[in-house]
Amino acid sequence: MAQPLLKIENLRTYFYAHSKQAFVRSVDGVSLEVGQRETVGVVGESGSGKSITAMSVMGLISGGPGVIGGSIHYASDKVQKNLLEGLENYVQLEEGNGRVLTVKKDESGWQKASEKLMAGMRGKEIAMIFQNPRASLNPYITVGEQITEAVRLHSGISAVKEARERAIHWLERVKIDSPRLRYNSYPSGMSGGMCQRAMIAMALSSEPSLLIADEPTTGLDATIQSKIVDLLQELKNETGISTLLISHDISVITRLSDRVAVLYGGAVVEYGPASQLLDAQAGFKHPYTAALLASVPNQQKIRARANLQAIEGEVPDTINTPPGCRFYARCNQITPEIRDKCAAIHPELKDVAPGHQVRCWRFIN
Ligand SMILES: Nc1ncnc2c1ncn2[C@@H]1O[C@H](COP(=O)(O)OP(=O)(O)O)[C@@H](O)[C@H]1O
Ligand SMILES: [Mg+2]
């Protein structure tokens, strides 16, 4: 198999929560891959570590200690490297009783080394789009000029006229009406959906190898959401760009992903082909994935006004990790045979089918 474009291994990103005087493990051993031309969906409820995973890849974590270990191998036509190469040397960690006790990090050493590794990556090799696109755009510069600037900065086109034509080309490709007129619009004069189209145009205009889309449709009206998903689908088919798609909304993940990683409490609990993982009837499934799938509204549930929040309990505390499975307290699929193991030992990710892994004692002999 060809080398994946992005291969995250055992990524750990921690923060010190002053209010609790303790370290939270927002990302705690995430491993996942994005292959060439592939869209990998990352799904999980709010607080599961999705955005922090993405920001760690971009080298954009603010707040300490931040990324403390793991590797992020990146391999496009132009760049092959581990974006965290050698950085573990700047960190010392002391753990005990399921808690992180101290983290010593040489922040300036880390920062310098990280910036060196990230040089030429952000915006050029890896582009990112976010929730709330209007806030990501500069309110004082027309969208056309912002895209032109991105083209000049990243795509090697320095002539203004040519860069302008490229920008208009990208406004056309994201299906903004009258792109030549819209070129001169300010973000405040555009709808949320149109701002997201402009953001997507700006991200793609530098022809990156990887697009990270973090909740690209969250916060938009339902009909606009659906149109943005349609657009991402079309661009995926046309450009074949590899995408790491993050969403708490499993219906968005379902429409776009080739493979899916389910995140729970800062770790991947299930990873596999979208067709298998998202099939509610398929045999192998993490109980958390099953609960996420059961929470998707359908006509019947809406009519019955059923409670859509099918998963009871709270997102786990990542300060004190209990020794057993992190989903133990919320799991409704524990059987007497496995109960002791679920309570006492954290399960490994285990192959349940080719390319499909689940972190659950039900599938470990
Ligand atoms: N700077 C920070 N300081 C402390 N905790 C943080 C910080 N940033 C994020 N967190 C915590 O990390 C967890 C994961 O956050 P995030 O990746 O944003 O979740 P989501 O899956 O919703 O995108 C959350 O519990 C969040 O409160
Ligand atoms: Mg998020």
Give me the DSSP letters along 72-89: EEEE-SS-EEETTTTGGG
The CATH label, of 3.40.50.2300, 3.40.50.620, 3.40.50.300, 3.40.50.2020, for the domain at 6-125+208-363 is: 3.40.50.300
pLDDT of residue 299: 54
CA of 53 to the centre of ligand 2 (A): 9
Q: Give the nearest ligand 1 atom to 63 CA.
A: 1
Of 284, 280, 275, the residue nearest 255 (C-alpha): 275
Cα–Cα distance between 89 and 92 in angstroms, integer?
8
Cα–Cα distance between 170 and 148 in angstroms, integer?
10
Q: What lines the ligand 1 site, CB under 6 Å?
A: 15, 17, 24, 26, 44, 46-52, 63
Strand pairing of 267-273 and 242-247? unpaired
Mean pLDDT by 10-residue block, N- to C-terminus, for the chain (365 residues)?
A: 92 95 95 97 95 97 94 97 97 92 95 96 96 93 96 91 97 96 96 96 95 96 95 95 96 96 97 95 91 75 46 76 90 95 96 96 92
Look up residue 313 and give its DSSP letter: S
Give the residue whose CA is nearest to atom 5 of ligand 1. Answer: 15
Give the residue whose CA is nearest to atom 19 of ligand 1. Answer: 47
CA of 26 to the centre of ligand 1 (A): 6
pLDDT of residue 307: 41
